[in-house]
């Protein structure tokens, strides 16, 4: 534990932490959400707590919470992958507006880097957005590398032409008669889980900019654990698959998610087509079919959001044609732990 006159920093394992700790962290996350996205519906605290409780078996998660009395005013979660990319520590760090410019972010970062290095990690990876400018300013002071510029893009469904979805589906059927598309709501069919895991690995072809990151390998076990978390939080998922008629191979998929109580927001997850099956209009076809079905199932939806690397021109072309527009500018940053140590060493008052 680290203390000073303004706060105390304590670590926690979210899978076993007392309910009161996770409730305070969830309340802090809602404060940050309200600053970044004041127009959005609130996240139910119980949903956030349940999400934090479900730690995947192939990662280690540690929280560092800065307390002011009984409130968490600053927070860092450190995600340590245990299979691939074991040189990296992924960090989500936030400080409430009233507590900024007092050295709290640096104090949390000291805990993070000490923990990361103790676990053999040599590089930190984190994200900032233009909705909280202090995050990017702090990251630049660290000397971190802006490794992957990206945007959250948003589709206002009031501006969507529904006929466009029909047109894209009809064009897909005409251009690619050797394929069929089919819908799946909720958990994936168990008998095809290995195929779906293999299809997920196509996401490794998406741009990662300058991130020092090796390919992630999806497995049936990872998919099962993810689905358990979804079931616990009530998250809804709709997937459209593209399948090659002759071989029966799954060649593409597109996914949408929404959360009960926050039904106005749809989140576009992965969309991927195997490279050897591209240029048949499959990407547009599966996205159109999936969105049309999602809107039939969730009439409350008002917006669709998705994250895209600025360099992902192929997917951006599809999204812009559908009506998505830039909503939030974001950057994935990376920095060596030695560089962070050097920065913190110049701030001895934080020890």
Write out pLDDT tens, residues 163-197.
999 999 999 999 999 999 999 999 999 999 999 99
pLDDT at 347 over 80: no
pLDDT of residue 324: 98
pLDDT of residue 2: 72
**3-class SS letters over 179-248:** EEEEEEECCCCHHHHHHHHHHHHHHHHCCCCCCCCCCCCCCHHHHHHHHHHHHHHCCEEEEEEEEECCCC
pLDDT of residue 88: 98
Give the pLDDT band of residue 351 (cuts 50, 70, 90): very low
Give me the DSSP letters along 122-174.
-EEEEEEETTSHHHHHHHHHHT-EEEEEEEEEEEEGGG--HHHHHHHHHHHHH
Give the pLDDT band of residue 6 (cuts 50, 70, 90): confident
Give the pLDDT band of residue 330 (cuts 50, 70, 90): very high
What whole-number distance in Å separates Cα of residue 267 and Cα of residue 245? 29
Which CATH code fits 161-322? 3.40.630.30
| 2-150+332-350 and 161-322: identical CATH topology | yes
pLDDT of residue 350: 47
Q: What is the torsional sign of CA 48, 56, 37, 240?
A: negative
Mean per-residue pLDDT for 78-93?
98
Q: What is the CA radius of gyration of the chain?
A: 21
Summary mean pLDDT of the chain: 96
Per residue in 33-55, pLDDT (tens digit) is: 999 999 999 999 999 999 999 99
Per residue in 137-161, pLDDT (tens digit) is: 999 999 999 999 999 999 999 999 9
Domain ranges of the chain: 2-150+332-350, 161-322
3-state secondary structure of 332: strand
Contact indicator for 92, 224 with CB cutoff of 8 Å: no
This prediction's pTM: 0.95
Contact indicator for 176, 113 with CB cutoff of 8 Å: no
Structure tokens at 81: 């992958």
pLDDT at 277 over 70: yes
Q: What's the topology of domain 2-150+332-350? A: Aminopeptidase (3.40.630)
What whole-number distance in Å separates Cα of residue 52 and Cα of residue 24? 12
pLDDT at 222 over 70: yes
Residue with tokens 């979210």: 14
Per residue in 234-256, pLDDT (tens digit) is: 999 999 999 999 999 999 999 99
pLDDT of residue 4: 74
pLDDT of residue 3: 66
Give the pLDDT band of residue 262 (cuts 50, 70, 90): very high
């Amino acid at each position: 534990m680290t203390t000073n006159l303004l706060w105390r920093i304590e670590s926690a394992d979210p899978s076993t932490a007392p309910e009161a700790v996770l409730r305070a962290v969830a309340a802090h996350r809602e404060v940050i959400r309200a600053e970044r996205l004041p127009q959005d519906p609130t996240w139910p605290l119980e949903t956030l707590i349940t999400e934090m409780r479900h730690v995947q078996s192939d990662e280690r998660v540690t929280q560092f919470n800065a307390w002011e009395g009984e409130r968490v005013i600053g927070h860092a979660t450190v995600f340590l992958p245990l299979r691939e990319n074991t040189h990296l520590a992924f960090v989500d760090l936030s400080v409430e507006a009233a507590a900024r410019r007092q050295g709290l972010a640096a104090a949390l970062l000291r805990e993070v880097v000490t923990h990361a290095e103790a676990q053999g990690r040599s590089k930190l990876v984190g994200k900032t957005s233009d909705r909280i400018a202090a995050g990017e300013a702090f990251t630049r002071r660290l000397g971190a590398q802006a490794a992957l510029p990206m945007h959250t893009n948003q589709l206002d469904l009031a501006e969507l032409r529904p006929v466009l979805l029909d047109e894209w589906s009809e064009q897909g059927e005409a251009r690619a008669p050797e394929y069929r598309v089919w819908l799946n709501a909720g958990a994936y069919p168990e008998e095809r889980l290995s195929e779906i895991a293999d299809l997920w690995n196509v996401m490794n072809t998406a741009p990662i900019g300058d991130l020092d990151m090796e390919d992630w390998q999806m497995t049936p076990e990872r998919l099962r654990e993810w689905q358990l978390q979804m079931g616990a939080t009530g998250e809804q998922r709709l997937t459209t698959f593209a399948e090659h008629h002759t071989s029966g191979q799954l060649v593409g998929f597109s996914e949408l998610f929404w959360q009960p109580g926050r039904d106005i927001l749809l989140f576009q997850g992965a969309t991927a087509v195997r490279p050897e099956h591209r240029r048949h209009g499959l990407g547009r076809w599966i996205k159109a079919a999936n969105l049309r079905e999602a809107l039939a199932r969730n009439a409350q939806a008002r917006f669709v959001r998705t994250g895209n690397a600025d360099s992902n021109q192929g997917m951006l072309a599809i999204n812009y044609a559908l009506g998505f527009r830039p909503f939030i500018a974001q950057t994935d940053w990376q920095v060596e732990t030695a560089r962070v140590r050097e920065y913190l060493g110049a701030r001895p008052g934080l020890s």
